[in-house]
Each structure stands twice: as structure tokens, then as C-alpha cells.
Structure 1
Amino acid sequence: MFLAANHARLVDDLDAPHRDDPPDPARVWAMQMALRVEKTAPPERAALLVAAARSVVLLCLDERSAPGGPWAEAMDAWCDARIRKIARRARGAQWVGAQQVWGVTAESDGQAARAFVPTMVGEVDPRVRKLQIEGTDVEGGLPAEPDDDADTGLTLWVNPTLDMTVGKTAAQVGHAAMLGVALLDVGETQAWFQRGCPLAVCEPSVHRWQELVAQERQSGAVAVRDAGFTEIAPGSMTVVATREGYQRP
């Protein structure tokens, strides 16, 4: 059962110590992500972040990522190291070409993102490497709460006190979606995966954020703490993931 193996990998990742980085930066493992940002039709921020988070978790739960699959070795190496993601901008022919590189594309309300199978930084496919890292920011805000009738397995709450670009936020919500799988048992994960891993990305009030932080790892909540390589201070809590049906304290 491939879902059980993939679920176990993500649950183990929550508390497992990670290997230190190799001396050679080119041998650092990272998951590249492409956010579709067309010049003539800029994406909407909230939907783009939902697509980004879904693309990451759909790749992690994909049958090809399970033991014996073509992506398994890369996924094991990446999860055993520090979890790094690098978000890039893609448009036009570059976006089309990127679809040929191993990975999973997800959409949300007409917006799209693709997560690629992790590689060492020095071995990134040229079709991905040429995508720009700068210029991923887009307009728009995030809802304070998920829709009451939304079909979500997880809600990803972005820290309202941090100033992060869309690219940085995409990496953080992608990590939160991975960690959020630990809030679900295997059967729940199976059902969620079959529905396409629906989720919500929200920006709560500061008061609500403080409530979520207080409930970390309790009542169905888990948090992402950033290593601080870019944009924000090391140890910053960037996103809290909660499961469907989470009750406020």
C-alpha cells in the first residue's frame, strides 16, 4: 500500500533529526517549485499558494514516491536532509517545458504550481534551473478563515507578523502541508489524497495566530519553523497547520 509508506515517511520527518549539510553547496538536496506567473494574467495570491501547497503534498504522497517507485530514492535523500524548497517563476513556453520534468502540478481556481522531484542543487534540470527565483510576488491577500463549506483536509495558517514574498510563503505552506499529514491517520490520508488533497491557506488575526501557537502539537495542530536561510530570522514560526474540524481553544 503505497499511501501507508508515504504517510510513514512524512510522519517520521516530523521529529527525526536531519543530516547536516554537505561541505559542497552543490550537493545540498532541495525541492524546486514553479509558480505559474503569466505577465498578461497575473495570478491571485491565495489560489496560487493553495496550488503550491497541494503540489508539494501530492508529490510526497504519489505512488511514484513510494518504495520501489522511480522517485523513492530522491524522496528519501531529501527527507533525511534539511527540508529545503526553492520557488521559481514560470510563464509561457518555460511553464510548458517545465511540465516535462518529473513532478506534480496542482491547480486552484485557475492558478497553477508544480513541485519537482528533489535533486541536489548542482543537478537541477536545465529546464527548471533557468526559471527565475526573483519576481514571484503577486498581488492579493489571504482570507482570515476558510470557507465554512470548503472541502478541506488541512488549513495552513500563515504568520501575520512576518513579511514574506509569495515565493517564500509558497515554500512554507508546502512544508506545512507535508507536516500536516502527521495529523491524519493512514485511512484519512488515503481519502484526502483521493480527493486531490484539498486545503485552505489563511492569514489569521494576530490574536488568532497567538491562539494557534499556544495550541501547537495539541488539538490537531503542527507548526513550521524556518531555518532562516532567506528573508526571515532562524527559528521563526511561519505556518501552523490544523486538520479539518479543528476547534478553537
Structure 2
Amino acid sequence: MTSHPASPADDAQPDSPFRHASTDRDQAPQFVLPLVVRIERAAPPARTDALETAARAVLLLLSDPRAVGEGEWAQAVRDWQDARIRKVVRRARGAEWRRAEALPGITVTGKSAEVRVFPPVPLDGWPKDLARLQVSGTELEDPETPGRPDAGTPVLWLNPEVDMSAGKSMAQAGHGAQLAWWELTGAEREQWREAGFPLSVRRPDAADWRDLVASGLPVVRDAGYTEIAPGSCTVVADHPALRRGPLG
């Protein structure tokens, strides 16, 4: 994942890896953030709810005391952020899900979706109970068209011209939420966290998408490891606090 961030405020957070000009991210040891979505045969989650729940899961991990400072996950998070920001979504059901829940992590529940996020692991060092889970088979559908986002709610806009699996889209939504988090000030982050990280994931029409990409808001450009071409714009992170200056 790479980013074209919005122009940050003077007190925007300095810990975004995109501000670490001296770091050779491709040469650093590579880590990945695992996410597991629960997909039971009889009751799969709605697609948009799964995407939104995955995005909130990423934010909850980034803001967890264990992931910052001297927390037990903090070094793994720093190592991950010093390399390419990779996320991989796998699916689980039944006993697989129960084994995943026994590992250190955070389970986030949406309206119909359950997603568990884990601290970053080396690219080739997944815990065995996660490594055996499947990446494929995460195709999900929305039973009805999602409504308009609530006014003032952060929105992660998906590229309407790029086809991605639900699992890939969940990872991209997580990227978008993370870019928004990095661009917020400390006070803005805390306000979002205290509100429970409300957000929506939606697809704009093609004309609105072009305007969003050109707006100066954070844009996810995929590294191209899976499914889509390198450099593809996949998500625009539209947080109200980032619409500063001429955007506001």
C-alpha cells in the first residue's frame, strides 16, 4: 500500500511511515496484519458490514494500549509500519473460528459480521491456526443496497471501476481507515475512538470518484500483490476532519 495523503495540519501525527523518508520500506523485514472474518455457511455476513467491521478492527488495533508505547504488541506494529503495509484477510467457521479466537487479538462485531484482528506477524511466520485458514471463499453479498452514509460520518469510498473480492475489499478498507488515522491529530484520533470509530464504506459513481481522487484526501494505491494491477487507486479516506482548508 502506498498513499497520496491530504495536506496535514501542523500537529498531524509524525508516526505515519509515509513520513519516514529515510526508511527503505522494501528492504525492511516484511510483516503482515492478519484479519479473520467469520463466515458460517448458514449465516454469512453482509458484504458492506464485513468491510466496515474490518476497517474498525484495524482502527481498534492501532489505538489499543498493547499496540503503542511499551505495549506487548508495539514492536510488532512498529516493524510492520516500517515495511510495506500489508493486510491479509482469511475466513473461518466453526472450530476454525474458535481456534482463531483463542489467539491474542481483538474481535469486532458489526451488524452481521465478526472480524478478528491480530498483531502483525512476519510474512512467513503466521501462527499455524491462522496459516491453515483459506484466503479464497470470502465472496459476500449485500442483501440490499446500502443507504446513504450518515452526515458527518467518515466514509471510505471504494473505486467503482475496480472489481475486488470481499476479502481484498476488506483489506483495502482497512488501509483506508489506517491512512485516515495517520493523518488525524491526536485530539481528532481520540474523538473518533471515543465515538466508537463510526464509519461507512460506499461506492461513489464514476464522476464523484474522480473528484474524490483529486480532492487531496488520502488515497490508497495498491501495491499489486494480489488481484489488481500495481498502483491502482482503491480507496479514498474521507474523514470530515481531513477536509481542511479549501476542502472544508
Tell whether the 8 Å contact from 2:13 to 2:185 is kept in structure 1 after alignment: no
Q: What are the residue-to-residue correspondences of 1:19-34 with 2, within 5 Å?
A: 19-21=25-27, 28-34=30-36
| In structure 1, C-alpha distance between the alignment counterparts of 2:230 and 2:146, rounded to whole Å | 26
**How far does residue 142 in structure 1 lie from its aligned partner after superposition?**
6.1
Tell whether the 8 Å contact from 2:13 to 2:184 is kept in structure 1 after alignment: no
Q: Normalization by structure 1: what TM-score?
A: 0.85
- Indicate the structure with greater helix content: 1
Deviates more, 1:187-196 or 1:197-206: 187-196
Unaligned runs of 5+ in 2: 1-11
Deviates more, 1:27-36 or 1:56-65: 27-36
| In structure 1, C-alpha distance between the alignment counterparts of 2:231 and 2:19, rounded to whole Å | 15
**How far does residue 121 in structure 1 lie from its aligned partner after superposition?**
2.3
Deviates more, 1:172-181 or 1:185-194: 185-194
Aligned to 1:134: 136
> Are 2:194 and 1:194 equivalent residues in the alignment?
yes
Corresponding pairs, count: 231
Aligned to 1:229: 225
Aligned to 1:170: 170
Tell whether the 8 Å contact from 1:35 to 1:48 is kept in structure 2 after alignment: yes
Aligned to 2:155: 155
| In structure 1, C-alpha distance between the alignment counterparts of 2:122 and 2:111, rounded to whole Å | 32
Q: What are the residue-to-residue correspondences of 1:71-90 with 2, within 5 Å?
A: 71-90=73-92
| In structure 1, C-alpha distance between the alignment counterparts of 2:125 and 2:145, rounded to whole Å | 35
Tell whether the 8 Å contact from 1:144 to 1:204 is kept in structure 2 after alignment: no
Deviations 1:75-124 (A, max 9, x none): 00000000111110111121122112222221211311111100102221
Q: Normalization by structure 2: what TM-score?
A: 0.86
**How far does residue 183 in structure 1 lie from its aligned partner after superposition?**
3.8
Q: Identity of aligned pairs, percent?
A: 40
Unaligned runs of 5+ in 1: 1-6
AA paired with 1:176? G
Secondary structure at the aligned position of 1:105 is classed as strand
